[in-house]
Amino acid sequence: MTHQYESAAKWFLLMCETNNWSHGLYTYVAGVCYAELFRRHPKNTEYKTQAIQLLEKVPSLLQKRKSFGRKRIPFEQFVERKINRFKTLAGNGPLTDGIQGPVTEEMTYLLCNGQKRMREPELQNSWESLELWTRDCQGEERMAMELMKSVVNRNEGKLDIARERIETRIIAEGLNRKVQLGSNDWVAGFTYYEVRLPSVW
């Protein structure tokens, strides 16, 4: 089942106990799941606490893990950049203040292209998640948000809307104007991948 954020968080934390691949990545995903829950239920401080505690553990977990060929695997590089970005945006506030962008939907997309396997009700849940995070988005987070919205549009069969969003809001208004992507540098490559998907265009 999709969009079961608390169950997903617990599952990824269980993965830390059952294998050694990347506890930093698993903990990051669990943390952003709790951040999503806190965004949905802002009066539930337990979700906020869980998100902060988990995300603050990620850097030390990345340091403990032996790198592959003295270099972090791409997902760990991604996670490290995201945590640094959250800290920058949070300033002196709690880490949850700095969490912006489509943090759960981008992990669904990057880890397993999950939106492709969703049916209409699940895609609507994805859209609701994206709308929930849209209001704070600027700059690089806005580019990531627009890409994730285009992915949902495409999987809903709204191909013209998906194309318009990519060509106008990401390429013309973002990439062509050299908007700095920073921790969201993955957006550029996946934007052109989405543009060229035969099933879309």
* Per-residue three-class SS string for 120-151: HHHHHHHHHHHHHHHCCCCHHHHHHHHHHHHH
What pLDDT is attached to residue 68?
57
What pLDDT is attached to residue 151?
97
User: Which domain covers residue 189, as residue numbers?
Assistant: 116-195
What pLDDT is attached to residue 136?
81
What pLDDT is attached to residue 200?
47
What pLDDT is attached to residue 2?
80
The two structure tokens encoding residue 200: 């879309």
**Does residue 76 belong to any structural domain of this protein?**
yes
**Does residue 51 belong to any structural domain of this protein?**
yes
- Domain end (from 70, 98, 126): 98
**Does residue 121 belong to any structural domain of this protein?**
yes
Distance CA 151, CA 166 (A): 9
- Domain end (from 98, 126, 159): 98
The verdict on 48 and 131 lying in the same domain is: no
What pLDDT is attached to residue 167?
95
What pLDDT is attached to residue 179?
85
The verdict on 124 and 72 lying in the same domain is: no
**Total domains in the fold of the chain:** 2
The verdict on 126 and 48 lying in the same domain is: no
The verdict on 91 and 130 lying in the same domain is: no
**Does residue 201 belong to any structural domain of this protein?**
no
**Which among 76, 89, 73 is positioned nearest to 26, based on CA atoms?**
76
The two structure tokens encoding residue 144: 């990531």
Residues of the chain with pLDDT under 50: 1, 200-201
State the chain's mean pLDDT as an integer.
92
